[in-house]
Amino acid sequence: MFITFEGIDCCGKSTQVKLLVEKLQQQSRDFVLLREPGGTPISEHIREILLDKKHSKMIQITELLLFSASRAQLVSEVIKPALQQNKIVICDRYVDSTTVYQGYGRGLSIGAVKNISRVATTDVMPKKTFLLDISVHEMHTRRDVGKHEADRMETSNEEFYQRVRNGYLQLAKEEPERFVVIDGKQPIDAIHDQIMKVVDEILPIPEE
């Protein structure tokens, strides 16, 4: 079972990933926790390049190909083997992030981005994707409260993030069976309860 979490920055997805992992541990589930970009030695090196603010001259296509290269390594080295072993795979960001950030956000061809992603993932897609939706204004508010230091990817302007959010909502409309859109401004526990209701429905009953 493959589950991913998506959303614009500061939407709370990492908190919800942590809560889901704690619940799966309580249930003695066999799972693998991943983040993107990263998850393998090669992918982590690519992550450092992507997020380093010193690389301000990186062009959009380079960014797209680096994200895809990191993901290709992760799918081949970790995700596919884990799924073949019937493990639950939980990933903090996946292919949808590339579609919305590099496609809708950066303005690259959506068709081209999706085609590159298909090659990188060999069509390995999640069963469910939880999209924690917040407004761009809420994102900025949370950043200010948390005194969050932005990395290279987080220095984009408000219009960019609005396009990204709109892109996520468009993807959710296109794939309603896969996406579960959740209001990210709700209390943390309320969001967790909604996620667990879906997870409990799709996961097999744990063996005694």
pLDDT tens for 116-159 read 999 999 999 999 999 999 999 999 899 888 765 655 555 568 89
Share of the chain above pLDDT 70, in %: 93
Beta carbons of 53 and 152 less than 8 angstroms apart: yes
Q: For residue 55, what pLDDT band results from cuts at 50, 70 and 90?
A: confident
Q: Which residue has the higher pLDDT, 32 or 51?
A: 32
Is pLDDT of 53 > 90? no
Domains of the chain: 2-202 (3.40.50.300)
Question: Rounded mean pLDDT of the chain?
Answer: 93
Q: Element (H or E) spanning 131, and its range?
A: strand 128-133
**pLDDT, tens digit, for every residue of 150-205?**
555 555 688 999 999 999 999 999 999 999 999 999 999 999 999 999 999 999 77
At 182, which helix (H) or strand (E)?
Answer: strand 179-183
Task: List the one residue out of 155, 141, 167 whose CA is nearest residue 51.
Answer: 155
Residue-wise DSSP of 64-95: HHHHHHHHHHHIIIIIHHHHHTT-EEEEES-H
